[in-house]
Every structure is written in C-alpha cells, then in structure tokens.
Homo-oligomer: A and B are copies of this chain.
C-alpha cells in the first residue's frame, strides 16, 4: 500500500505538499508540482487510508443506520419491503453525498451506542424507536441524529424526526370505507404503540366523525411473527359474520389475508372489504389489487439523509424538526360500495 510519505520521498518533496495536492489546495502549490504529484498518485494507484484520515481529522464521514430489531419479529429485517426500500434508498443517497454507510442491526440500544461511539460515526439515522430507547440513546450519544417514524411525548422536543401523517392516512382510508357505506369495521395491527397507535387514532377520529362508537372488540391484534399462521387467519374469516371491512396497518398483513380469503373461496370485495397501509409492492401485486394509503418511502429516506447532512454541515445550531410527510389514498379494488 503506497502512502503519502512514500510519494513525498520519491518526489523529494514534503508530505504536506502531497497532501495539499490531494485535497485540491492547489493554490498553494506550484503548477508543476501539482502535475507531478497527480501523475504519481495515478501511477502508483494511491488510495488514502481512511482510518488514518479519520483518526487525524477526528471524524469519519460515516453515517450509521441503526435499526433495533427484535430478532423475534424479524429473522431478516430486509425481508420487510418497507425497510428494504428505506435502507436501499438511503444507501444510494448517502453515497451520492460522499458519505459511507455503516449498517447496524442491533437488538439493544446499548449495542448501537457502543458501535457508533467506536466508529466515531458522524451522524446517525435510527428507525422505529420507542421513547425509552430514545432517551437512552440521547444520553449516550451526543452526535447528530435523525429519527425515522418516531413518536415522542410532547415533553421532549430536542429531537429531529421524519415521520408520516399516520393519523391522517388512517383517517382518510377509514373515511373512505365509511363513505362507501361500511359501518362495521375491524382495525388490524400487530401492536398498538408508535406509528400504529397514531393510525388507530386516525381510525377512531373517522368513526367518531360519523357518530360511530369505537368498539374494543373491533381492534384485532395479530400475534407477532404469526401472520401466516392458519389459526390466526381463521379468525378473520370468522369475524366476517359481523364485520364488513378490515383496515390493516400494513399491506403485508392485508395481502396475506387476501390470499387466505382467496384460497378459502371468500370473495373480495364482495363478501368483505380490505384496506392496507404503505402501498408497497405487495399492494400492487395481490389480486384484487389493494386499496391502501400510499407513502413515499424513497422520498422519506432521501430527506432523512439530506437533513442529517445539512445538520452535519451547519455552522450554527439549527432548529429541531419533526416532519410528517403527506400520505395519499390509493383506491384499487378491495373496497365494495355498500348499497
């Protein structure tokens, strides 16, 4: 591996001069020297040692993406199309901006802290954190941080977040069902914290606007990791007797259930209407195609990276932001108009 020192010796000049040329500070160097150095860099295939540079500069040009995954829920996080699109788009944007990506799936916040501290990561993007984890993270990592889809209590306001109008999206799609005459609607999620909590709130708002009560028995929780399990799926078939529609918190669950219904000979939307959330590939792939709430995951990813880098470059401290990106109703074929 050829070093700056090597090249300086060969050219009989100092490392500073070589370094200056490499960093384009050519105004301080004679044109001739610049040319000689550039040539040698090329000839010898010199590549700067990033570890040395990071050590000297005390920064890393690394952006860490950390996702806390219970390996219980995900055997492989990237199998979830939301995360794979999100991370793929971030990877692209990070590279475009001249940064490096260090991907870190951890099962605890302590691990994340340890990791980012050790690598001296310039900035951190974290997805799907709950309050407790955020507090821990904030206490132990003083670097720049952007959260994705994080809901924190109002008492906390020193954070940057890029989320979604979850409440609004869920309101919209529930209203769409109500407008189509549905009155007995199930709400399906695999938990009721964070994002899904706000989706549930939006759902409730729509019901209330129509003067309908929020019935606890219409909240259907899918046991984590068992969304394909027949005993779980059967419940959906049984509830059709008293429900006319299901609002799902994710396209993935919705698509699974649609297929289950297809296989059982239950016709959609004739016998039951179904809606999703996210508008990912599954929503477009499944038949009938899924009526759902669309979010632009790629835009979210790019915005998160850009905002983070903006913060990194900011001279003075910038205001905190908590952006909730817009959603859109996508009407396809899984909602029936009731008389």
Contacts and interface: CB of A to CB of B under 8 A. Distances in A.
B91 A51 contact: no
A76 B90 CA distance: 9
A54 interface: yes
**Which of A60, A114, A255, A285 has the most C-beta atoms of chain B within 10 angstroms of its own C-beta?**
A285
A127 B259 CA distance: 33
A85 B91 contact: no
Contact of A47 (B79, B101, B114, B281): B114
- Copies per complex? 2
A50 interface: yes
Nearest to A284: B259
Contacts of A51: 51-52, 54-55, 60, 119-120
Interface in A291-317: 298
Contacts of A52: 51, 55
B118 A49 contact: yes
Interface size class, chain A: 35 or more
Contacts of A91: 77-78, 103, 105
Nearest to A140: B45
A320 B57 CA distance: 40
B89 A76 contact: yes
Nearest to A297: B76
A76 B262 CA distance: 31
Interface in A81-126: 81, 84-85, 87-89, 91-92, 95, 100-105, 114, 117-120
A286 interface: yes
A140 B46 CA distance: 11
B49 A55 contact: yes
Nearest to A262: B287
A31 interface: no
Given A55-B55, A102-B102, A287-B262, A117 B47 contact: yes
Interface in A26-48: 45, 47-48
A282 interface: yes
A241 interface: no
A1 B142 CA distance: 10
Contacts of A114: 47
A102 B100 contact: yes
Listed from nearest, the 9 A-B pairs whose CB atoms lie closest are A78-B88, A84-B84, A78-B84, A76-B88, A47-B117, A51-B54, A50-B118, A51-B55, A51-B51
Interface of A: 1, 45, 47-52, 54-55, 60, 75-79, 81, 84-85, 87-89, 91-92, 95, 100-105, 114, 117-120, 140, 255, 259, 262, 281-282, 285-287, 298
24 contacts: A1-B117, A47-B118, A49-B118, A50-B118, A51-B51, A51-B60, A51-B120, A52-B55, A55-B55, A77-B91, A78-B84, A78-B88, A84-B84, A91-B103, A95-B105, A100-B119, A101-B103, A101-B104, A102-B102, A103-B103, A255-B285, A259-B287, A281-B282, A287-B287
Given A51-B54, A78-B84, A84-B84, 14 more contacts: A45-B140, A47-B118, A49-B118, A51-B55, A51-B119, A76-B92, A76-B298, A78-B88, A79-B81, A84-B88, A100-B102, A100-B119, A262-B287, A285-B285
